[in-house]
Amino acid sequence: MRSSRFDATVLTLGFAFLYIPIIILVVYSFNASKLVTVWGGFSLQWYKTMWSNQGLMDAAWVTARVGVISATIGTVLGTLAALSLVRFARFPGRMLFSGMIYAPLVMPEVITGLSMLLLFVAVGIDRGFWTVIIAHTTFTMCYVAIVVQSRLLTFDQSLEEAALDLGCPPVKTFFKITLPLILPAVIAGWMLAFTLSLDDLVIASFTTGPGATTLPIKIYSQVRLGVTPEINAICTILIGLVTIGVIITSITTKQAEMRRIRDEHVAARGTT
């Protein structure tokens, strides 16, 4: 197809709209000048100061731990929710349950955060590291449930029946057959949950307490005092991590696809 000048323009504008802010952020992280808006030559000094900024590093460490722990718990719970939604087609209150799984997706974060806060206050839990984890688990598990559910819908249940039939008890069947086959979806769900947790400012700021400042909260509070190039540096690192993640995922998918095509050729040759 011949691409018209119009198409090219629209494409350029679209991508520019999406990526110029990010490019500016990345470029200014290498700025030698202390002023964010004035280019003073190339330098890596902000990466160095960032590294020695204890507050920022602590926040990054908290965020990483919150992300890993809440994504892991959320993935376990979300996978279980997806299993029960797909497998037990008829149980009382199924509609209500599936509706309730999706609700946090559309619920304004402020409300989720506030209700969490009220709960923790009412129960009398001291807010801090674990309350952020609980809050993040509750909203990330919905996303995991949806990702895993879509995989389970196309899962041939006779595979599990075959395992049972061959003498494998149900729990073992889950770990030997079901889990290995839905693992890609479970991992995708975990990554999504981790990213969402990493990214969250609103819910975390409602539920956090002293000593558990996450990176988004830290960045946000620093920016209020003025943007420093250090922030640009840490954001650039975050962008880099996410990009690497995306590239690895797409390469593995591509390889799996190539392997599948190769297998089909092998099967076609081996028909005799």
Partner 1 sequence: MAKSLGPVKRKFSPWTDPSAVPFIRFENITKRFGTFTAVDNLTLDIYEREFFSLLGPSGCGKTTLMRMLAGFEEPTEGRILLQGKDISGVPPYRRPTNMMFQSYALFPHMTVEKNIAFGLEQDSLPKGEIATRVEEMLKLVKLEQFAKRKPNQLSGGQRQRVALARSLAKRPKVLLLDEPLGALDKKLREETQFELMDLQTKLGLTFLIVTHDQEEAMTVSDRIAVMDKGLIMQVATPAEIYEAPNSRYVADFIGDINILEGTVASTDSALGAPGRVRIDCGDIAVSVEQECPAVAGDKVAFAVRPEKVRISPDQPAGTSVNAVYGEVWDIGYLGDFSVFLVKLADGRVVRAAQANVSRLVDRPITFGDMVWLTWPLDAGLVLTR
Query: Contact residues for partner 1 (CB under 8 A)?
Result: 156, 158-159, 161-170, 177, 180-181, 260, 263-264, 266-268, 270-271
* Closer to partner 1 by Cβ: residue 225 or 267: 267
* Shortest CB 153 distance to partner 1, Å: 16
* Closer to partner 1 by Cβ: residue 62 or 177: 177
* Shortest CB 260 distance to partner 1, Å: 7
Rounded (5°) CA angle 182-267-272: 145
Rounded (5°) CA angle 213-118-60: 15
* Shortest CB 192 distance to partner 1, Å: 23
Contacts for 150 with CB less than 8 Å, ≥ 6 apart: 185
* Closer to partner 1 by Cβ: residue 168 or 238: 168
* Shortest CB 4 distance to partner 1, Å: 42
Residue 76 one-letter amino acid: V
With contact defined as beta carbons under 8 Å apart, do 78 and 189 qualify?
yes
* Shortest CB 94 distance to partner 1, Å: 15
* Closer to partner 1 by Cβ: residue 57 or 164: 164
* Closer to partner 1 by Cβ: residue 36 or 187: 187
